[in-house]
Amino acid sequence: MKVLSTTAGLLLAAAATAPAAVNFRTQVWPVLAKNCVECHRAPYKDNAGKMIEPKGRLRLDGAGGIMKGGNEGESVVAGDPDKSPLYQRILLPIDHEDAMPPKGKGKPLSFNDSELIKEWIIDGADFGDWKGSDAGAPVAAKAAPKTADPLAAGATIAPEAAKQKISSLGALVTPIVKDSPLLRIEWVSGAGAIGDKEVVELAAVAGNISELDLSGTKITDEALTTVAKFPRLTWLKLNGTAVTDAGVAKLKGLVNLNYLNLHSTNVSDTSLTTLTGLRKLRQVYLWKTRVTPGEAAKFAKSIPDLRVALE
């Protein structure tokens, strides 16, 4: 009880003594709009068709731009008007080279207006729900140059329900890259509980699976019957499982495979006969298998740009 009233009392006390917080939208924005935004806004083409950049690369027409700052660094440090050029520079005498607005470009701000900006900064530079020009926000991640992934052509987005079902088996299911319908499926944790039965569930998204990690699971050659039906499979890890040459033989239809990891399995030179038909293979890992160095070397030469690692 006692504690409750103390805390509540504090809240009341704080509310009573603090002046009402400055509202950015109704109070500060009009000031900026009138005095600053003309020069500090989104790039635009002038009448001659020339692109005009915001002065000092500082945009004040959006919350993002205001907080990001420009060429000369930050314009606002929340809570600290002394460290905020937005406030400091409007205080400078008209003849000062750093004064804002610059001499000739506009009248110096009134005392009231500059006080508003100061109080707003002291209060924490809170925009409330105002965003302003959304494009003023810091540049989002530049998307990687979109090289159309031929493999993705024709693939539809995998249904959520199907992905959920696979996740519930403990798998991590993610697109292989941003905006791709192709999926990567792996068990970072709990691989030991996964066997042939679980792999069958993956068939629901057969057309989407590009990367599959079954290392350390309890699968047998049986599972590879299912895996063989993933046409877009490029990356496959089977290391540390009970697969044999017979299982590898089932993979002869995986023409898109370019990475295959078989280390610590019981496969032998026999498997190489299957694999040599997969012309897109570029990396094959055969450490701790029964593959012999001689055959491995021959295999490596049989496909251009193929690297085989025996150790």
Partner 1 sequence: MNFHKADEFTRRELMIKMAKSAFGISLAPMFGNSVASAADFVPNRPRAAKSVIFLMMAGGMSHLDTWDVKPGNATVMGKTKAIDTTAAGIQISENLPKSAKQLQHMVLMNGMSTTQGAHEQGQYLLERSYTMRGTIVHPAMGSWVMRLAGKRNNNIPGFVSISGDPNLVNGGFMGAKFAGVPIGDPNAGLQDSIKPGSISEDDFTKRLKLADALNKQFHTVVSSSAIRDHEGLYSDALRIMHSEDLKAFDLTKEPTEIKEFYGPSRFAQGCLLARRLVEHGVRFIQVTHGGWDTHYDNFTTVPARCKDLDDGFSALLADLHRRGMLEETLVVVATEFGRTPEIVSEHEDGRDHYPKAFSCVLAGGGIKGGRTYGKTDASGSKVVENLTTPQDFNATIAHSLGLPVEQVVISPSGRPFTVADKGKAITSLFA
Partner 2 sequence: MIRATFTLLLRTACLGTAVLCLTGTVSAQLAKKTTDPDNDPVFIKKAASEIDRRLANDFKKKNVTPLPAVDDSRWMRRLYLDAAGRIPTYEEAITFLNDTAPDKREKLVDTLLKSEGYTGSMYNYYLDLLRATSRLGSDGTRSGVPYLRWIRESAASNKPYDKLTYELLTTEGDGWEEGKGAVGYFERDRGMPLDNMANTTRIFLGTHIECAQCHDHPYDKWKQLDFYEMSAFTHGLETGHRDELSKHANEKYNGKNAEQDRLRRDLYRWLYDNIYDFGVTGGGDGIIKLPMDFKGKGGKPEEAVRAKSIYPGAGNTRREEINDARMKFAKWVINPQNPRFTLLIANRMWKKVMGIGLFEPVDKFVEVSKENPAGTVISNPEVMTYLEQLMKEVNYDLRTFQKVLFNSRAYALGTNPGSVDPKMPYAFNGRAVRRMKAEQVWDSMAALVVPNIDYRKGGSLSPAAAVYGQVIGQSAYAIYEELKKGKDPKDTANRIREMNAWVDKTAAQLKSGGGKKSDDSMMMMESSMTAAGDSKASAMQDPAKWAGYSKAFLRSYELPSPTPPDHFLRKFGQSSREVIEGGSTDSDVTQVLSLINGHVEKNIIGDSKALIYKAINDAATPEDKVRAAFITILSRQPTPAEMDLMLPEAKKGRDGIKNILYALLNSNEFIFIL
Contact status: 64 vs partner 1 (CB under 8 A): yes
Q: How many CB atoms lie within 10 A of CB 11?
A: 10
Spatial separation of the C-alpha atoms in residues 188 and 172, rounded to whole Å: 7
Residue 74 binds which one of partner 1, partner 2, none, with CB within 5 to 8 A depending on kind? Answer: partner 1
> Which of 1-9, 49-57, 223-231, 269-277 is the region at the interface with partner 1 (rule: CB under 8 A)?
1-9
Q: Which of 5, 12, 13, 72 binds partner 2 (CB under 8 A)?
A: 13
44 three-state secondary structure: strand
Q: Please identify which residue in 7, 167, 189, 225 interacts with partner 2, judged by CB under 8 A.
A: 7
From the CB of 88, what's the least distance to partner 2, in Å? 7
Region near partner 2 per CB under 8 A, out of 75-83, 156-164, 208-216, 289-297: 75-83
Q: Is 311 in the site for partner 1 (CB under 8 A)?
A: yes
The stretch among 4-12, 155-163, 266-274, 300-308 that binds partner 2 (CB under 8 A) is 4-12
Task: Tally Cβ neighbours within 10 Å of residue 162.
Answer: 18
Site membership for partner 2, residue 10 (CB under 8 A): yes
DSSP states along 93-156: -TTSTT-SSPTTTSPPPPHHHHHHHHHHHHTT---TT--B-GGGSPPPPPPPP----GGGTTPP
CB contact set of 286 (below 8 Å; sequence gap of 6+): 262, 263, 267, 296, 308, 309, 310
Residues that bind partner 2 (CB under 8 A): 6-7, 10, 13, 17, 79-80, 82-83, 88
